[in-house]
């Protein structure tokens, strides 16, 4: 009986060890933040957002950065490219593009104040950002007012 329990513990321990060390399986993205939306099924199949970083800067303005992953080719470790830090605490937004070619993408950040109202600002505009094949890319934004406490980010393919 004791031997059986020992074996069970050993198996459980090994399982925990293996799953803990295993690299993130392709397509498994541990991120589901409703504040970021990728528009279009074509894009969604390639590009996945994996994380958000926010902070309040010295002027009390909220800043946001987005991190992402290419679902088709699996996880691309930002540590390998940046050479420091954990991906979840990376200081820049990194998103992998799985397409074989260069992509023109756009993002728009809508800032929302403490009362839930969208702030009208020229900072909320479709902004182009490049996505090179099999490369990471990043973007960030700053709130137009110190009263901004939330945001909604939309990513889409650049319309012609």
Chain residues in the site for another protein (CB under 8 A): 57-59, 61, 63, 121-123, 125-126, 141-146, 159-160
User: Shortest approach of another protein to residue 21 CB, angstroms?
Assistant: 39
| Nearest to another protein of 7, 125 (CB atom) | 125
Got the DSSP string for 45-67? HHEEEEEEEEEE-TTS-EEEEEE
What are the CA-CA distances from residue 87 to residues 11, 63, 66 (Å)? Answer: 30, 18, 11
User: Shortest approach of another protein to residue 63 CB, angstroms?
Assistant: 7
User: Shortest approach of another protein to residue 69 CB, angstroms?
Assistant: 26
Specify the 3-state DSSP secondary structure of 15. Answer: helix
Task: Give the Cα-Cα-Cα angle 68, 70, 71 (nearest 5 degrees).
Answer: 115
First vs last Cα of the chain: how many Å apart?
Answer: 70
| Nearest to another protein of 84, 160 (CB atom) | 160
Provide the 8-state DSSP code for 88. G
Token pair listed for 93:
């937004």
| Nearest to another protein of 51, 141 (CB atom) | 141
| Nearest to another protein of 73, 91 (CB atom) | 91
User: Shortest approach of another protein to residue 61 CB, angstroms?
Assistant: 5
């Amino acid at each position: 009986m004791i031997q059986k329990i020992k074996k069970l513990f050993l198996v459980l321990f090994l399982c925990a060890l293996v799953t803990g060390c295993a690299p993130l399986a392709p397509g498994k993205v541990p991120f589901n933040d409703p504040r970021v939306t990728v528009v279009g099924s074509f894009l969604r199949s390639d590009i996945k957002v994996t994380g958000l970083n926010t902070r309040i800067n010295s002027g009390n303005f909220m800043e946001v950065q987005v991190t992402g992953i290419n679902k088709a080719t699996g996880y691309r470790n930002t540590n390998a490219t940046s050479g420091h830090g954990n991906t979840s605490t990376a200081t820049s937004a990194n998103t992998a593009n799985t397409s074989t070619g260069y992509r023109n993408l756009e993002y728009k950040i809508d800032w929302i104040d403490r009362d839930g109202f969208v702030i009208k600002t020229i900072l909320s505009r479709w902004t182009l950002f490049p996505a090179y094949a099999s490369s990471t890319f990043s973007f960030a934004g700053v709130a137009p007012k110190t009263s901004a406490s939330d945001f909604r980010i939309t990513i889409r393919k650049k319309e012609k």
